Structure 1
Amino acid sequence: MGLLGTHHVAIIASDYARSRHFYTEVLGLRVLAEHFRAERQSWKLDLGLPDGTQVELFSFPDPPSRPSRPEACGLRHLAWRVADVAASKAALEAAGVSVEPLRVDEFTGRRFTFFADPDGLPLELYETGV
């Protein structure tokens, strides 16, 4: 099959402006492209991370909610690598984002934490160093 990595993750937002602000201003993802698709009454925002991975942020009229807690079947969470999870946690909290206490992965010994996007999508920061 030859998979080479993750190209993108797609997220549907209930409030496009609020989520756009969160992903660009709070998390600092770079805007690659932004388009309004009139036939769908939908925005599509392509965001980039330094390693080339992309996040596609969509809006659709009245999207149904997705259960995430208790643990629902399907995608559990989205995790991002960071060099210093404590510094990243502090930056999120300074921006008003509620972040869980730091934990240590029992198998790798690496530190991590969880927070949520404006729609409650669980997001993880996983410390990998540089």
Structure 2
Amino acid sequence: MTAVLKAIHHVALICSDYARSRAFYHEVLGLAIVREVYREARESWKCDLEVSPGVSLELFSFPSSPPRPSYPEAQGLRHLAFAVDDIDAAIRRLSSHGVTCEPVRVDEYTGKRFTFFADPDKLPIELYER
């Protein structure tokens, strides 16, 4: 059977503080800003950040959006994972910006190293070493 889905095109996040989250994803994580627009009718910012060629992270702000109701073990999206070439270098970069990562673990099935940290809205993010 041929897969219908070919790749992840984008992931969309709604943040509580647009400026803080924009700085985190752009300055701390180093994602390039492709497009940023203010949508006056919605009182909302939308920022497209490039994760890799053809894959983006859409960052949204909306007035009075409710907080995330649960943690990663609840039903629904568990976490967002990014591939990195050198997990130790990535952790050092995050640490230099005051971001705390969990201790590095090893995937028992792949032997690859990974860790978790939280974005400004406490959304869980994983770094997975290639």
- Shorter-chain TM-score tier: over 0.9
Aligned mate of 2:11, from 9, 16, 19: 9
* C-alpha deviation, 1:44, in angstroms: 0.4
Separation in 2 of the partners of 1:29 and 1:52? 13
Aligned pair count reads 128
Alpha-carbon shift at residue 70 of structure 1 (Å): 6.1
User: One-letter code of the match for 1:26?
Assistant: V
Q: TM-score, normalised by structure 2?
A: 0.94
**Which residue in 2 is equivalent to 1:95?**
97
Give, in angstroms, the shift of residue 40 of structure 1. 0.6
Aligned equivalent of 2:36, options 34, 37, 41: 34
Inter-partner Cα distance in structure 2 for 1:65 and 1:43: 17
The runs of 5 or more residues in structure 2 that have no matched partner are: none
State the superposition RMSD in angstroms.
1.1
- Structure 1, unmatched stretches of 5+, are none
**Alignment partner of 1:117 is 2:127:** no
The percentage of counterpart residues that share the same residue type is 60
* Residues 68, 76 of structure 1: 8 Å contact kept: no
Regions of 4+ moved over 6 Å: none
Correspondence for 2:69: 67
Contact 2:72–2:78 (Cα < 8 Å) also in 1? no
